[in-house]
C-alpha cells in the first residue's frame, strides 16, 4: 500500500494595521481596535493618519507609540506618518482627475445643510449640488478664488468599474454599494487629500492583507473598494468589529478622559487585565 501523505497549504501571512489619528490620547476603544488587529497579525503595522493638521497635536504622536508599547502591541517596520507623504496622495488624486472622475465642489456646510432638507435625495449624503456645473462655471468660480473640494462622481466611477465585491469576515462576499456614501470628498478645501483617498493608498503601500477596524467604518469600506479598483490597488479582506461602549451604552470617545490609556496606566491598571476584559466582552 502506498503511504498517504497529508499536504498542508502554506497559510498566507496576515498583515494588519492600526491607524489612529493623533488628535487625542488613546482610550480603551482604541486599545480594543488595536488588539483586535494585532492578535490576528503575523505582521502588525502602525500608521498615523494626520492629514487634518488643525486637529493633530505633537504630543499625541509620541503618546500613541508609548501607549501601544505599554500595552505590548509592537509593530513591525516604520510608522507611516501620512502628513509626510502628501505627494503620494496628490499623484493618486491626479490619476482619478485625469479620468474625469472628480469634480470641484464649492459648497459650504450651510449650502449642504440647506439642500439636505429638500424633499429629495438620501439623508446625510451630499446632494450633488456642484455635480452638474458647466466647465465654464467651474472655471469662473475657481478663478475668482472660491475655495473648493474635489468630490468623486460615484455613479460615473461605479459605472466604469462595474460590479465590485469584497470579502468581509463573518459576512462573506459582499457587493460594494459605494452610492451609500454619495460623492465623497477626495481632496478637502484645506488639505489636498482626504481620509478615503489616503487610507486606500496606504493600505496597499503597507501590503495590508486584513483591514480589521470598527463597525463605524463599514459603510466607508464600500467606497474604499471602489477606489481600490479605480487606482489599480488590491482589495484586502475586511473585518469590522463592534465598538466598545461605556457604562452609559455610548461609544467611547476621546473626550472620555477617564478611559484614556494614560489615566488607566497612572491608576495602576495592568495591560493583561485589560486584554482579558476584551476577551470576555
Ligand atoms: N484613522 C481612522 C480613525 O482613527 C481609522 C481608519 C481606519 O482604520 O481605516 O478612526
CA-47 nearest atom, ligand 1 = 1
Integer Cα distance of 36 and 124 in angstroms: 30
Contact 15, 155 (CB under 8 A): no
- What are the distances in angstroms from CA 170 to CA 167, 237, 240? 9, 11, 9
pTM of the model: 0.93
Start-end of H helices in 39-101:
58-71, 86-98
* Closest among 161, 158, 153, 225 to 186, alpha carbons compared: 153
For 128-176, the pLDDT digits (tens) are 999 999 999 999 999 999 999 999 999 999 999 999 999 999 899 999 9
Domains in the chain: ranges and CATH: 15-83+153-278 (3.40.50.620)
Burial 123-150 (b: 16+ CB within 10 A, else e): eebbbbebeebeeeebeebeeeeeebbb
Picking from 36, 23, 80, the residue whose alpha carbon sits closest to that of residue 206 is 80
Helix (H, G, I), strand (E, B) or coil at 227: helix
How many C-beta atoms surround the C-beta of residue 50 within 10 A?
A: 20
Residue with the smallest CA separation from ligand 1 atom 10 is 20
How far apart CA 203 and CA 272 sit, in angstroms, is: 29
**Nearest Cα residue to atom 7 of ligand 1:** 19
Among 21, 79, 194, the mutation site with the greatest number of ligand 1 atoms within 8 A of its Cβ is 21
pLDDT tens-digit series, residues 90-102? 999 999 999 999 9
Q: pLDDT at position 144, please?
A: 98
**To the nearest 10°, the Cα dihedral for 29, 203, 131, 142?**
100
Amino acid at each position: 500500500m502506498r503511504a498517504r501523505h497529508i499536504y498542508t497549504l502554506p497559510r498566507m501571512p496576515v498583515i494588519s494595521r492600526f491607524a489612529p489619528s493623533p488628535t487625542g490620547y488613546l482610550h480603551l476603544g482604541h486599545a480594543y481596535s488595536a488588539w483586535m488587529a494585532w492578535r490576528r497579525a503575523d505582521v502588525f503595522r502602525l500608521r498615523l493618519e494626520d492629514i487634518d493638521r488643525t486637529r493633530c497635536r505633537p504630543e499625541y504622536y509620541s503618546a500613541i507609540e508609548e501607549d501601544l508599547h505599554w500595552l505590548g502591541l509592537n509593530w513591525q517596520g516604520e510608522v507611516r506618518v501620512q502628513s509626510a507623504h502628501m505627494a503620494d496622495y496628490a499623484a493618486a488624486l491626479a490619476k482619478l482627475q485625469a479620468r474625469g472622475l472628480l469634480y470641484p465642489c464649492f459648497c459650504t456646510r450651510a449650502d449642504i445643510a440647506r439642500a439636505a432638507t429638500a424633499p429629495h435625495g438620501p439623508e446625510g449624503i451630499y446632494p450633488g449640488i456642484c455635480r452638474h456645473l458647466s466647465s465654464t462655471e467651474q472655471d469662473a468660480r475657481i478663478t475668482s478664488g472660491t475655495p473648493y473640494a474635489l468630490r468623486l462622481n460615484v455613479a460615473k466611477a461605479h459605472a466604469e468599474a462595474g460590479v465590485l465585491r469584497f470579502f468581509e469576515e463573518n459576512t462573506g462576499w459582499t457587493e460594494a454599494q459605494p452610492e451609500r456614501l454619495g460623492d465623497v470628498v477626495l481632496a478637502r478645501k484645506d488639505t489636498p487629500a482626504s481620509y478615503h483617498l489616503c487610507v486606500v493608498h496606504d493600505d496597499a503601500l503597507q501590503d495590508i492583507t486584513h483591514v480589521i477596524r470598527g463597525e463605524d467604518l463599514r459603510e466607508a469600506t464600500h467606497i474604499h473598494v471602489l477606489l481600490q479598483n479605480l487606482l489599480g490597488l488590491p482589495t484586502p479582506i475586511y473585518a469590522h468589529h463592534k465598538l466598545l461602549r461605556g457604562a452609559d451604552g455610548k461609544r467611547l470617545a476621546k473626550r472620555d478622559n477617564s478611559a484614556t490609556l494614560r489615566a488607566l496606566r497612572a491608576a495602576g491598571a495592568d495591560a493583561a487585565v485589560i486584554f482579558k476584559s476584551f476577551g470576555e466582552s
